[in-house]
Structure 1
Amino acid sequence: METLANLESFVRSAELGSFSAAARRLGLTPAAVSRNVAQLERNLGVRLFQRSTRRLTLTEAGERFLGSVSGGLESIQVAIAELAGTVSEPSGVLRISAAPAFGRDHLLPLMPAFCARFPAVELEWQFDNRPVDLIAEGFDVAIGGGFELTPGVVARELTRLHIVAVASPAYLQGRLLPLDPSDLAAWDGIAMRSMRTGRVRQWQLRHGDGREMPVEFRARMRVNDPAALCRSVLLGLGVGLLAVPDVLPHLRSGALVRVLPEWYADAGPISLYFASGRLLPAKTRAFIDHLSERFRALGLAQAFRADQAI
């Protein structure tokens, strides 16, 4: 009879294409996963993988065996997880990825209540502006936008990411407020260069009546970090296009002003990303449910929308 560890190591290695990725998913070392698979092959008397320095490839026998065992393995894991969930509280290390400003300003304030409710869960945050590979990099949850939904990952929307044009009162002094995006052509702009592509981001703003217009201004500065863009606008260097969550406190305090209050761009959803299927550790389910409930209770989804009053 094969052990669950051997079968699980084989199935995850086949799904992810490497022992290292499977090890991150299972919380093991790559050597342990490799040993488990090798033991399974010895016990079965067949080679399941063709190994190379770059990737694992299933043999014909491995393909047949994967089709036979993967469904049954998931059923066993679900049964174990459901049983464990009835007798234990959420616990263990929960690895989370989030954008720095959004995580610091809007997610961390929700954590005292979570930690008080689930004291056995240890939170390990990584703040990064890039979309991470949830499974390959071993994260339990990621929060952000622009993630590719790779096999095995699902998304739960928290709110929409709306982009607005803002400037400081000092920069606006003596200037007529623009009526539409074309009026920004003569203004100094702080442009955002993508960390991933190196291209300067171009935005198309939308009016509540359905009109759309591109934004064109003189790029006085270019930066590759949203926090630096926000800081530059606060310093009065020009107008910038920023996400509502990044500028909401400054808009409420009067440090920044929306220069086109009826125009905005919709950059897509801000979502929770996590592994698909019913088999979710109790710690992950508790975190997802907590964030979703807090966003509803505090009205954060509505607060971050540019088509609402700010």
Structure 2
Amino acid sequence: METFSSIECFVRSAEVGSFAEAARRLSLTPAAVGKSVAKLEVRLGVRLFQRSTRSLTLTEAGQLFLDQVSGSLTTIQNAVANLSSVEGLPAGTLKVSMGAAFGCLHIVPMLGEFLRRYPAINPDWHFDNRQVDLIAQGFDAAIGGGFELPQGVIARKLSPAHRILVASTDYLQANPEIIEPDDLSHHDGILIRSPQTGRVRSWQLTGRNPQNCQPLMLKARMTMSDSEAACRTAAQGLGIALVSMPFAVGYLEAGTLQRVLPDWFVDDGNISIYYAEHKLLPGKTRAFVDFLIEQFAERGLARRFSAI
């Protein structure tokens, strides 16, 4: 058991490149983690890390050992977690990352039903619009769209990630008619700034015939980093907003906003749930993934989030 703990200290330190950060995640002291790794090095007879006051890097032997043990360590930990479930039900802390507004609008309303089914699971939900490193940051899952798929991470599609143009009735009545995408160049735009890069992306509008594509020529009157904020701004009659469908549906159904050029939209891939690929997935993670896919189907969210 002591060797297993030392291996866990080694793997976590290698993942984050720091004894201090590994200690924080393992609820230990940095000194305890350092001593545990040192004992492992003595037992193995090799040096696993090159240490300096500012960095912690793997040696060639350390990288080889990490490649051999990290997957097995996760499998053993998941097996232990599954066996320690409460009365056969999945149990434990479920750490999930999701966008703030999207999570509050569409995922939090599912929480009550999820906990009724799985009362031994403790949600630890993080609301952040930035992509997280699932493995290095210890997340069980993440929900979002447009993420790069790192090695060892699986994505299960929940719905399309479409963006549409919306405006208030007052704005549309007070400004020139919009019949074709080229007409947008004469209108004030409320554009979305990427939270990752801080820049406004160049978008391609797609027609209902996927072969019809035109660049979005909307004049930037203002920029926002959040689709919910852009919807609220457009509802004040301040311009035309390009927003994600999950944020627009409530405003469209209430009549507060209406679609502009309803035969055109931006295809931004899919909204998915992401989780690390394991031979033995923890029961709590499997339960959440299956539950979310079921709820998206039952609530018709894939259909509601489609611009087509």
Count of aligned positions? 306
* Distance across 2 between alignment mates of 1:157 and 1:248: 19
- The verdict on how the C-alpha distance between 1:271 and 1:71 changes in structure 2, with shifts beyond 3 A counting, is closer
After superposition, give the CA deviation of every residue in 1:94-126 in whole Å (9 maximum; x if it has no partner).
222111111011111111100111112221222
After superposition, give the CA deviation of every residue in 1:12-53 in whole Å (9 maximum; x if it has no partner).
4345544456557x6444624333212212333432211234
Gaps of 5+ in 1: none
Q: State the match for 1:101 in structure 2.
A: 101
Q: State the match for 2:56 in structure 1.
A: 56
Q: Which moved more, 1:36-45 or 1:84-93?
A: 84-93
Q: State the match for 1:121 in structure 2.
A: 121
Is the CA contact 2:75–2:279 (under 8 Å) kept in the aligned structure 1? no
What code does the residue aligned with 1:145 have?
G
* Distance across 1 between alignment mates of 2:28 and 2:146: 30
What code does the residue aligned with 1:140 have?
D
Is the CA contact 1:94–1:283 (under 8 Å) kept in the aligned structure 2? yes
Query: Is 1:35 paired with 2:35?
Result: yes
Query: Is 1:233 paired with 2:234?
Result: yes
Q: State the match for 2:263 in structure 1.
A: 262
CA shift for structure 1 position 200: 1.8
* Distance across 2 between alignment mates of 1:292 and 1:158: 6
CA shift for structure 1 position 231: 1.2
What code does the residue aligned with 2:97 have?
S
* Distance across 2 between alignment mates of 1:60 and 1:264: 50
Is the CA contact 2:168–2:256 (under 8 Å) kept in the aligned structure 1? yes
Q: State the match for 2:283 in structure 1.
A: 282
What code does the residue aligned with 2:196 have?
R
What code does the residue aligned with 2:116 have?
A
**Residue 3 of structure 1 aligns to a residue in which SS?**
helix
Query: Is 1:47 paired with 2:51?
Result: no
Could you tell me the TM-score, scaled by structure 1's length?
A: 0.88
Is the CA contact 2:95–2:141 (under 8 Å) kept in the aligned structure 1? yes
Q: State the match for 2:301 in structure 1.
A: 300
After superposition, give the CA deviation of every residue in 1:37-93 in whole Å (9 maximum; x if it has no partner).
122123334322112345433334334544554565456446545544696422222
Is the CA contact 2:82–2:283 (under 8 Å) kept in the aligned structure 1? no
- The verdict on how the C-alpha distance between 1:114 and 1:71 changes in structure 2, with shifts beyond 3 A counting, is closer
Is the CA contact 1:190–1:240 (under 8 Å) kept in the aligned structure 2? yes
Is the CA contact 2:94–2:122 (under 8 Å) kept in the aligned structure 1? yes
* Distance across 2 between alignment mates of 1:41 and 1:219: 58
- The verdict on how the C-alpha distance between 1:164 and 1:28 changes in structure 2, with shifts beyond 3 A counting, is same
- Aligned identity (percent) is 51
Q: Which moved more, 1:107-116 or 1:179-188?
A: 179-188
Q: State the match for 1:171 in structure 2.
A: 171
